[in-house]
Structure 1
Amino acid sequence: MTNKVVVRKMTDEDLEDVLEIEHASFATPWSRDSFNHELHDNPYAAYYVIVLDDQIVGYCGLWVIIDEAHITNIAILPEFRGYRLGKTLFQYVLQEAKRIGSVQLSLEVRVSNVTAQKMYRQFGLVPGGIRKNYYTDNQEDALVMWVKL
C-alpha cells in the first residue's frame, strides 16, 4: 500500500476539514471563529495540515513568540490514528519551529493521554509540570512537556 502523505500550511479552504477533525477529536472543540482568528489575526500562529491521498486527516497549531514555540493543538481523525501520521505531522512542525529560530518547544497534554505522551517523549520532550484542572470539560490536569531544540 503506497499512500501519498504531504504536510503543508493550513489555508482557509482547509477549515471545514479541520473543523471535522476538531469535533471528532476533542470534547470541547474550537470554533470556526477561533481558527479564523488564529489564521488571520494572530501574528504568532502557524497551522499545518497533514494530507493523505488528497484527504486532510490531521492538523497542528504552533505559536512562536520570540524564540519559544508552543503546540496549541494537534489531532488526527480517529479512523487514521495508529498509522504514524501524528508522528509525521509533529516531526514536521518541530522542524518548522527549529527552522524559524525557536530554541525550545512546549505543549500541554492530558495526564490520561499516555499514547500522546509516549510519542512526545520520542522527540525528547520531558515533563515540566502540571496545570491543575486545565481541561474545562472534565477538569483533568494537563502535563506540561517541553524540549530544547
Structure 2
Amino acid sequence: MSKLIIRQMEQKDIPQVYAIEEETFSMPWSKKAFEESISYYHTLFLVAELDGEIAGYCGCYQSLEEAEITNIAVKRQLRGHGIGRRLLEELMRIGKEQGAFAYTLEVRVSNQAAIHLYEKMGFTSFGIRKNFYEKPKEDAMIMWRHWEI
C-alpha cells in the first residue's frame, strides 16, 4: 500500500467522504451534515488519503473532556488494512491534546469486526441501546474508553 496520509477533513473532501458514507451505512449522513459538522469549533473530522483519494474518514464531537465518535468508515475495497485503526489513533491523539480523556461510540451489535477493533483499542462495552439503529432495526453496543487525567 502507498503512503497513507491522515489529515483534517476539508470541504473539498466531502463528495468522496459522502460516497464512502453511502456505501457503508443504511442511513447515511447528508453532504450538508458533513459540511456543517466540519465547520463547528467543537468537532474533529479526519480523512485518510491514499494516492490522492479518500480511503476513509472519522469524526467526533468534543464537549470538555469527553468526545463522542460519530462515524468512521473505510472504502469497502480497502478494509482490513489498518486504515480505520490509524484514523482512530490519530483522532484520539489530537483529541487528547485538546483535553478529551474519555471517548464514547455506538456500534451495531452485529458489527463484530468493528467491535473487535474498538476492544483492541481499549474500548469497553457499557451497555446496549435497544433498537438504536434502523434499516435494519438493531441494538447498539455503547462503548467507552477512558484515560487517566
Structure 2 alignment gaps of length 5 or more: none
Structure 1 residue 97: deviation in Å? 1.5
Structure 1 residue 81: deviation in Å? 0.3
1:135 alignment partner in structure 2: 133
1:69 alignment partner in structure 2: 67
CA distance in 1, matches of 2:91, 2:78: 19
Structure with more strand by fraction: 2
**AA matched with 1:113:** N
Judge which range, 87-96 or 74-83, deviates more.
Answer: 87-96
What TM-score, normalized by structure 1, do the two folds share? Answer: 0.95
Number of equivalent positions: 147
1:95 alignment partner in structure 2: 93
1:57 alignment partner in structure 2: 55
Structure 1 alignment gaps of length 5 or more: none
Among all aligned residue pairs of Structure 1 and Structure 2, give the percentage whose two residues are the same amino acid.
Answer: 37
1:32 alignment partner in structure 2: 31
1:145 alignment partner in structure 2: 143
RMSD: 1.0
* Deviation per residue, 1:20-71 (Å, 9 max, x gap): 110111111111111112122x332111000112211100011110110110
What TM-score, normalized by structure 2, do the two folds share? Answer: 0.95
CA distance in 2, matches of 1:32, 1:51: 19
